[in-house]
Amino acid sequence: ANTPLPQYVGLASEFELVDVNVHWDARLGRYGLRLDLNYLRNLEFDAEEIWTRAAGNIVNNFGGTGGTTLADFESGGEAYMLEAAFDMPGFRPGSTWRLLAGYKRIEPDALPDAYNDTTFHLGGTNARGYYLETAYALHEGVWLGARWTASKEVYGAPLAIDTLQIELNARF
């Protein structure tokens, strides 16, 4: 590519992941409450090794100093998610609903981009933010849902992505 600032896309990091999940379900009368915690760490994350493997051609994830050296390079190998859901269990039209809220932080080299939720920060890594979801059963096998995500970059130039998704699902 004959561009003034070529961007190289690829994996400069190696990955060996430890993934810990904690899940808790409870009943509050006729309602359900669920809490989830997910923590992930890339045991192979090494910023110096990434820099060496990329031969200094990394062009993103630099601090606010304006520098483009290894000392200015920012990345990380950790990710976590906290999530809480409150709902009316079962599937009864007109009375079944669900509310969900969560927070995610995914550092750039925590895991390969392809393993992430494509609706949060439009996919990939290097993102942090919250999300809210709701769903309501309209009819037998038909429900309406909405999801709001608000995310920002963890490292590098500021980038905020807010997304609203509305969906109508039918099962037959």
Predicted confidence at residue 52, as pLDDT, reads: 84
pLDDT at res. 121: 94
Domain ranges of the chain: 17-170
143 vs 37 pLDDT, higher one: 37
For the record, the structure tokens of 122 come out as 């439009």
pLDDT of residue 50: 84
Contact assessment for residue 125 and residue 153, using Cβ atoms and an 8 Å cutoff: no
For the cut 90, the answer to whether the pLDDT of residue 131 exceeds it is yes
- Residue 33 has a pLDDT of 97
- Mean pLDDT (whole number) for 146-150: 98
Please write the tens of the pLDDT for every residue from 63-117.
666 777 888 888 899 999 999 999 998 767 777 899 999 999 999 999 988 888 8
Whole-structure pTM value: 0.85
Q: What is the pLDDT of residues 20-78, one digit of tens each?
A: 999 999 999 999 999 999 999 999 999 888 888 877 777 777 766 677 788 888 889 99
